Structure 1
Amino acid sequence: MRLSGRAALAVGLAGAVLAPVTPAFAAPPPVTADLRADVDRNGRVDITGTGDQTGEDTWSAGRGAVFLPNIDDDAKRCRTTGPDGKPLSDAKLAKCNDAADTTVNGAADAKDLARLRTVPMAQAPKDASGTVRVTGKGAKHARLFIKRAGGWTAVTAKTTLTAAELRAGVELGLEGTDVVRDRAVWDGSAVVELKVTAGSTTTSDKVTLHVAPLLTQHHLQRAQRMLVTEIQGKGPFSRAQQKFVKDLDTQAKKAGVKQSTVKFTKYGDIWAQDFVEPAYAGMTGEDGRPRTIRIMLRSAQPDREAGRELFEKLRGPDMGVVQVTGVKDSEEWTLNSMGNLETIPPYTHGGRSYPAGRIIMGERKDTGSKPAKAMRTLLASQGLQNPLFLDTSWLHVGHVDEFVQFLPAPGTPRGWRIGVADPDAGMKLLRDAKAAGHGKTKMFSVKGFEGMPAPKETIDQTLADKKLRADNALAAKRIKANLEVLKRETGVTDAEIVRVPALFTRGTDEGVAADRMPLLRRIGGSADTPEAVREYGQQRELGKPTGPSVMTSAYVPGAVNGVLLGPDRYLAPRQWGPVIGGKDIFTQAVTAAYRKAGFKVSYIDDYYTYHLGMGEVHCGTNTLRDTTKPWWRP
């Protein structure tokens, strides 16, 4: 009998007395299942040490393995028309993406998989075998793949890990088939379980992963690309709107936005801010760099055709689209436009932290109307940007972007400031001009448009308008109340607020500001103007307003309703205010307000294309921003 080293030593010391020995046929050490994922989010799955083992069965916003909702189209295989050449329905458009099948669609798609590894079991006997699976509710929302010589293969109930694979260690990949839509249905978690059986012994190990949250962009993320609708045609409205697009291109390039502008051309809906909210989901890739999928969040307006172009034009590599379902047209239509969704940049206050920023949305508190429940549920279910609601019942369109914005501010306590429309400052500009003897000066310096005469009112007439004075007193009061909510929730002080001169005017029962009715009637009957400009534009209402008798919109083009093109570059709508001494007094005041906050302001004319439709530059554009910074880091 062959003795172990310890037994031989015993014989030498004790003569004929033999110590117990370990038989040569004794069982090898027990095989222990050990499954790892990228718990520390550094891009590597460490199979040695405890870096990716500690806390593997829990998950928090700051630690725990992440997987992507793999809803882009890396191989560009998704069709937008059926075999008969007819456009697919919205539901069928949304069904196609990389996670809609059980195939890894190329090398790019493989990068969207979150990796897991089994720790090699060098002592696994020949009869050892293993299984892996996603357990619990996550099994319906996540798909597991195994990497073998032939490439990636979907794991099924019949998939078995061989003894040889267990000895060498196995690489797995996990994808999400959707974003979290309702935490009550699925909270985003996926528990992957490894079971290993050797002889009569079975051991198991579980790792908890969480699908990356769908996050909206904020203004500390630099603009990388502009989105805008370009109306087709050669009529007067089309030419004016095409000039706007050309000027936008020019201003974006000057500000350092290098990627070419995306132009929506199919449906004639000029409100590019409103039918989509660019969002994203990210994890750390295998190379240690951020792996991000942009997700275009379609507005909860099922009859708004422009949202289809997100699938038809944008969906592709690293770009997916999400649309909510179960939305009825009877819900407050205008509140569902994405101009009514903005994002406060990251902050910590009152014991709460929002490392990816926090969403704000408008609601009509006087009537209790809110954005669609399906959208509110989806946004809240992400768990990181819990929406804060402001009162927009005083605004005819009712969008938060009409009066508030967030501006980068390096060196301040939060790194950003709040910009707000200031009606008091706007009225003071007019009173000061009148006091200086300029009361007879025209209120607007804009010229007429295609046979429509320019506005003729003077500063004196504007100040004498009791309704307009009341409108701006109301606007100032409501803005102050909303600002108090923002200050309470974020900790922002008065020193961190940029007040931008503005003026507001009330609407009418027809849903259009009184001074704008002539033009809208004119373009409404023009063959040159797309139906979508009227039907899906800012001025649309489902019947008459149900809120207070006074609901306002911008009188002078709303300067805060512009676009942040760079950390210190801002694009505002041209003011077309009173010209005194050769200078537009509103332009001077707006420029001074932003300059004091560290911004160089450029202007773009949107008077007849957007402003008279109750929107501005921000309403007519959108941006794709840099989303590479990990969302879990402040």
Structure 2
Amino acid sequence: MNKTLVKKHTQVVLIEKKQRKRIKLVPPQKKIKQCVLKTSLKYFEIECKLQDEWIPLKAQEVLKVEAFSLEPELWIVPKSDKKYATILFEYHLHNDPTTYQIVFQVYQFRLELKLDNQCFDSPYTKDHSIGKYHWIWGKTNGEDAEMTQSNQQWGGIILADLDQDKDDFDFSENPQGGTTELVQLQVVLPFATLPPGIDLQLYLETSFSDAHYFGLYAPHNKDYQLILGSDKEKPPNLLAAQSQNKVYKTSAKIGLESQCFYLRANHLPNSFFDGIITIKLKLKGSKVKEVPIEVIAEDHLIVRVAPWLMMPNTQEVKKVHIIRIDSETAGETANSDQFIKKLRGILGDKLVVSDASNFDGDRWIQDEFVIGYCQGVKQVMPVVCDGPRDRGLNKYPQLHLLKADFGQVSIAGNKKSTLDSFGNLEVSPPVEGYPFGRIIMGASPKQGFKHSPRQIAHQLKGFLHAQKVQSPIEIFSDWLAVGHVDEIINFVPAHNPSSDKNFKMLIASSKKAIDVLSYVYFSDTHRVFYLPFEQEKQNSRDILKKWLHDYWEINHRIQLFLDWNRQLLKKELGLTEDDIIDVPVLFKERKSDRRALPLLPNMVNQLVITEANASFSIVPKSYGPVKTSAGGLTLDLDPNNIHYLFEDQLKTEFEAIGHQVYFVDDTDLYFKRGGGIHCATNVERAYFANKKWWKYKPPNAHDI
């Protein structure tokens, strides 16, 4: 009796857990008569397309040639966690006694790239399979952003490594050495057995653009080796899209087992980087010994780098930094000891004093840097943003601020202007749609000033826009000689406001200054007038007659600029007139370029202090017409203790909102050099401890 000849063909199929695998059932001959599935379907389900319909096959089911194509496609669907099984098909041909068999050796495995749970703020779930693929913001317009089990997950968040931890790869709790910002990345690849004779290769990949902004490290000989991305630059370079370090877009082959790597974000979002890092894990194979194998599987994840945020004046003050000036400073005649003594009496231990001699006489500490913060799920890091100004105080953060868990981002500029100084940055308190406030920066949006417009360095502007959460507003400040926002805009807390806001916006008003001076001149009720730098009182009528003649026109023109800014800010911040306090500021023209300087110390340029249950401002002494008594008599006191009419009006406005005020003379130290108290101080404030930025969707943001 002749034995039936059996010809067997073996094909390896690697199928990922919980995935369907599509394969081609290629018979050994074309003239096939019928096909039989000989395997029980305990662990897998087989689907075949018969007559344009996908149907599950049954064991021992005979498929005739007229029912399916000669090269049918099959779906293999796992039904259990069985790691290995075989599936057998038999073919019979016309006029051929040979039995042909195709054996599918099916290896089921799990390929997964997992991000550390500490990157996710999803208290109701341990499975972040949604959050690792999608980045979902919270609610729009500051609505209740809490998620429940049925909601989608927030995506992963990582802090940029901007501080000076003693050892970034020390993952223990170490208050002295700092808390690392690196997070764990796990590769999961459990094969029960590896298919024989098959060369499997596992790689990590990213895009070339993303590779400049993070580094992925593998343990190597008791150290850590960069395998993907790039090393951290010190300081980060935001002038160019590409790092100067070596960059790895694809890792070398990694082992075929579960293993851990460590992810570091090197940069904050900026002009070239939207803050989203994408990493892919790919399992690849090659043909070995006639055993064909297709591209196997891949997984990926995304994670967002936490943005940098500024703190508004409504946040509580922790420290106030100021620079001490003395007569030994080059070109200096004034001494700041008495000024600092007054501030110390008001601020107490919150005041931090450093000598100007250590910083080449530079006193404008507000202009050099801004102290903000970055918030992760488990950690908050104060971060100083050091701008393009780079004058004497450029080294102040390094000497007095930076340490473990206190970071720095440095932003350079190609063409510097005074608009790049951080006196030209302000942030509003929270408003509708922006629960962390909005950044306000001054530039030249009205097509420039006198055909010589100045603009903020595009690197700085791009950086601020890239943070998204406090979407910037650009107002017109180029008409000012210095050009800074803090000369015309400020914010103070309001403890019993007349509107639903808990703050008031201060805006310089040349119209109000002219109106006050006109009233004084024509009513002839305020006879005494003090000028900055003058010890003797002046006759107000003589001065005001000249000032109203010389400065009325320029202040009328400047009020048009201020009104344009006012309307823009009302629209962008959702303000009403009740939310605004007009502060009288009189301007004069600088002859060289016709830009404006304040004629008297600028009361908008004030230091705003917020405490747990109170707030106050330290304001430049205004000078000008002296306040009269109730009986109409001029209060002719010592010049240092005189109450000025401009001051009295501001004090009345502040009293109505429960905000105190201290007036301090800054003429010799700051005013005669074009600045004020705000320019000369820098404040550390508490971050928004009761808010998480990812729970609110900014109007300009989108989900991924």
Instruction: Tell me if TM exceeds 0.5.
Output: yes
Find 1:36's aligned residue among 110, 114, 118: 114
Where do residues 2-401 of structure 1 align in structure 2 (5 Å cutoff)? 26=85, 30-37=108-115, 42=120, 49-50=126-127, 52-62=128-138, 63-75=154-166, 107=174, 111-118=179-186, 124-125=192-193, 131-132=203-204, 134-146=206-218, 154-155=226-227, 157-158=251-252, 160-161=254-255, 163=257, 166=258, 170-183=259-272, 186-195=273-282, 202-234=296-328, 237=332, 240-253=335-348, 258=350, 260=352, 265-285=358-378, 290-298=379-387, 300-301=388-389, 304-329=391-416, 333-348=417-432, 353=434, 355=436, 357-363=438-444, 364-367=448-451, 368-401=453-486
Q: Which runs of 5+ in 2 are unaligned?
A: 1-39, 44-58, 61-79, 87-105, 139-153, 229-250, 287-292, 630-634, 636-642, 697-704
Give the drift of 1:553.
2.2
Give the drift of 1:615.
1.2
Conserved in 1, the CA contact under 8 Å of 2:326 and 2:332? no
Give the drift of 1:593.
1.3
Where do residues 382-421 of structure 1 align in structure 2 (5 Å cutoff)? 382-409=467-494, 412-421=499-508
Where do residues 419-430 of structure 1 align in structure 2 (5 Å cutoff)? 419-430=506-517
Give the drift of 1:426.
3.0
Distance 1:343 1:560, change over 3 A: same
Which residue number in structure 2 is paired with residue 554 of structure 1? 598
Q: Classify the secondary structure of the residue corresponding to 2:108.
A: coil
Conserved in 2, the CA contact under 8 Å of 1:180 and 1:381? yes
Identity %: 20
Letter of the 1:374 counterpart: Q
Q: Classify the secondary structure of the residue corresponding to 1:111.
A: coil
Which residue number in structure 2 is paired with residue 11 of structure 1? none
TM-score (norm 1): 0.72
Structure 2: how far apart are the matches of 1:293 and 1:38? Answer: 23
Count of residue pairs brought into register by the alignment: 527
Distance 1:628 1:56, change over 3 A: same
Give the drift of 1:415.
3.9
Structure 2: how far apart are the matches of 1:71 and 1:577? Answer: 47
Find 1:569's aligned residue among 598, 616, 619: 616
Distance 1:188 1:39, change over 3 A: farther
Deviations 1:565-622 (CA, angstroms, capped at 9, x unpaired): 1152222112234333334322221111122233111222211111121211111111
Distance 1:505 1:414, change over 3 A: closer
Distance 1:216 1:483, change over 3 A: same
Deviations 1:41-74 (CA, angstroms, capped at 9, x unpaired): 655799x744x22142233554422222212222
Distance 1:394 1:119, change over 3 A: closer
Distance 1:245 1:238, change over 3 A: farther
Distance 1:243 1:327, change over 3 A: farther
Conserved in 2, the CA contact under 8 Å of 1:145 and 1:174? yes
Structure 1: how far apart are the matches of 2:383 and 2:662? Answer: 28
Letter of the 2:440 counterpart: I
Q: Classify the secondary structure of the residue corresponding to 2:209.
A: helix
Conserved in 1, the CA contact under 8 Å of 2:311 and 2:687? yes
Find 1:507's aligned residue among 589, 597, 610: 589
Find 1:610's aligned residue among 656, 664, 670: 670
Letter of the 1:140 counterpart: H
Structure 2: how far apart are the matches of 1:24 and 1:191? Answer: 30
Conserved in 2, the CA contact under 8 Å of 1:505 and 1:554? yes
Give the drift of 1:355.
4.2
Which residue number in structure 2 is paired with residue 441 of structure 1? 528
Distance 1:266 1:482, change over 3 A: same
Deviations 1:331-353 (CA, angstroms, capped at 9, x unpaired): xx22222211212233335xxx5
Structure 1: how far apart are the matches of 2:83 and 2:528? Answer: 107
Deviations 1:414-462 (CA, angstroms, capped at 9, x unpaired): 5433111233333343344445543531244x675xxxx5574625422
Structure 2: how far apart are the matches of 1:294 and 1:120? Answer: 35
Which residue number in structure 1 is paired with residue 28 of structure 2? none
Q: Which runs of 5+ in 1 are unaligned?
A: 8-17, 77-97, 510-543
Letter of the 2:577 counterpart: D
Flag the structure with larger Rg.
2
Which residue number in structure 1 is paired with residue 573 of structure 2? 490
Structure 1: how far apart are the matches of 2:165 and 2:454? Answer: 39
Structure 1: how far apart are the matches of 2:468 and 2:494? Answer: 26
Distance 1:125 1:403, change over 3 A: same
| 1:632 correspondence with 2:694 | yes
Structure with the bigger percentage of strand: 2
Give the drift of 1:178.
2.4
Letter of the 1:228 counterpart: I
Q: Classify the secondary structure of the residue corresponding to 1:173.
A: strand
Which residue number in structure 2 is paired with residue 79 of structure 1? none
Structure 2: how far apart are the matches of 1:123 and 1:356? Answer: 51
Structure with the bigger percentage of helix: 1
Conserved in 2, the CA contact under 8 Å of 1:341 and 1:362? no
Letter of the 2:158 counterpart: F
Letter of the 2:162 counterpart: I
Where do residues 530-609 of structure 1 align in structure 2 (5 Å cutoff)? 544-545=592-593, 549=594, 551-566=595-610, 568-579=615-626, 580-581=628-629, 582=635, 583-609=643-669
Q: Classify the secondary structure of the residue corresponding to 1:209.
A: strand
Structure 2: how far apart are the matches of 1:243 and 1:125? Answer: 80
Distance 1:75 1:463, change over 3 A: farther
Conserved in 2, the CA contact under 8 Å of 1:419 and 1:560? yes
Which residue number in structure 1 is paired with residue 143 of structure 2? none
Distance 1:112 1:457, change over 3 A: farther
CA RMSD across the alignment: 4.0
